[in-house]
Amino acid sequence: MRALTFLAGRFVAGDTIDDAISAVRALNRDGIKATLDNLGEDSRTNAQACAAAEENLAMLRRIAEAGVDCTISLKLTQLGLAVDPALARENLTRIAEEARRLKNFVRVDMEGSAWTQKTLDLAYSLHGRFPDLGVVLQACLRRTEADCRDAVAKGMRVRLCKGAYKEPVDAAYASKAEVNENYDRCAAVLAAAPVPAFATHDDERIAAAARSCAAAGLGKNDYELQMLYGLRAERWRQLRAAGHVVRVYVPYGTHWLPYFLRRLRERKENVAFLARNFFR
């Protein structure tokens, strides 16, 4: 387990908020923005959900004290959506209020498709009070192009990603090619949304999204390109040097296993990295 913890360090900034803030400072020095994520999902009790909410409040305060260029990202099952939806709503409201007070932004990550509608319903129900609350949509899902149109109509800020969860066949596209095509279609729709964020390490998707934004009259400061901590660091800097706004998703905390396994599953090079270092 100690070896795995060491290897997860490639994708995770450390155990504590202070570890994560150090990583954010280093990114900011290169002109790269960040979003902090306290790893964890599926709180099983109200106490766990409330502890996660407190951690997110602490993150917002620590970001403000440190003066770093950084938002936060969180998961609603971590805030209690699976055990007590009313508590999850209360937790998200407290966090959104604190973010507003501190002039920050909260991104609600998207989990597996069983949570899509519940996540969007909760986020939209608070969006009128908290415009600085955004969501994530996943190009792997068949419903997502329609969700993008809805987000544009409602003025919701969206991060578009491919989707990291294993999905039922009726909900999701089966092939990578279909997911990629849908990503490009959704990116074109989202060019009309406020500050669209394109989260991918895929150069073709980045290029297509940038073309759609340019065609919609957006400048490079009007949208964000986002990548994950530990993946393609040299590319972040190239994109930044080319004038793009780049934001890196910085996860931290001790509950890193599900996140780590998702990273291994989506790319065989990441497994090769694990195997190489494990045997070393």
Ligand X SMILES: Cc1cc2nc3c(=O)[nH]c(=O)nc-3n(C[C@H](O)[C@H](O)[C@H](O)COP(=O)(O)OP(=O)(O)OC[C@H]3O[C@@H](n4cnc5c(N)ncnc54)[C@H](O)[C@@H]3O)c2cc1C
Site membership for ligand X, residue 267 (CB under 6 A): yes
Among residue numbers 77 through 116, which ones bind ligand X (CB under 6 A)? Answer: 109-110
Residue 230 beta carbon to ligand X: minimum distance, rounded to whole angstroms: 8
Residue with Cβ nearer ligand X (41 or 98): 41
Residue 138 beta carbon to ligand X: minimum distance, rounded to whole angstroms: 5
Residue 114 beta carbon to ligand X: minimum distance, rounded to whole angstroms: 12
H-run or E-run covering 251: strand 245-252
228 phi and psi angles, rounded to 5 deg: -95, 145
Among the options 89, 107, 109, 147, which is catalytic? 109
Site membership for ligand X, residue 184 (CB under 6 A): no
Residue 179 neighbours by CB distance under 10 Å? 20
Size of the site for ligand X (CB under 6 A): 21
Site membership for ligand X, residue 200 (CB under 6 A): yes
State the amino acid at position 81 in one-letter form.
L
Identify whether 42 is a catalytic site residue.
Answer: no
Identify whether 159 is a catalytic site residue.
Answer: yes
46 phi and psi angles, rounded to 5 deg: -60, -35
First to last CA, the chain: 15
Site membership for ligand X, residue 224 (CB under 6 A): no
Residue 116 beta carbon to ligand X: minimum distance, rounded to whole angstroms: 10
Residues with Cβ < 8 Å from 162, sequence gap 6 or more? 138, 139, 140, 179, 180, 183, 200, 202, 205
Q: Which of 115, 173, 249, 256 binds ligand X (CB under 6 A)?
A: 249
DSSP label of 58: H
Closest CA to 208 of 155, 160, 255: 160
Distances (CA, A) of 223 to 113, 187, 239: 26, 11, 13
Site membership for ligand X, residue 136 (CB under 6 A): yes
H-run or E-run covering 205: helix 203-215
Residue with Cβ nearer ligand X (104 or 138): 138
Site membership for ligand X, residue 195 (CB under 6 A): no
Q: Which of 85, 126, 165, 185 binds ligand X (CB under 6 A)?
A: 165
Length of the chain: 280
Q: Which residues bind ligand X (CB under 6 A)?
A: 109-110, 136, 138, 161-165, 199-202, 226-228, 231-232, 249, 266-267
- Please list the active-site residues: 109, 159
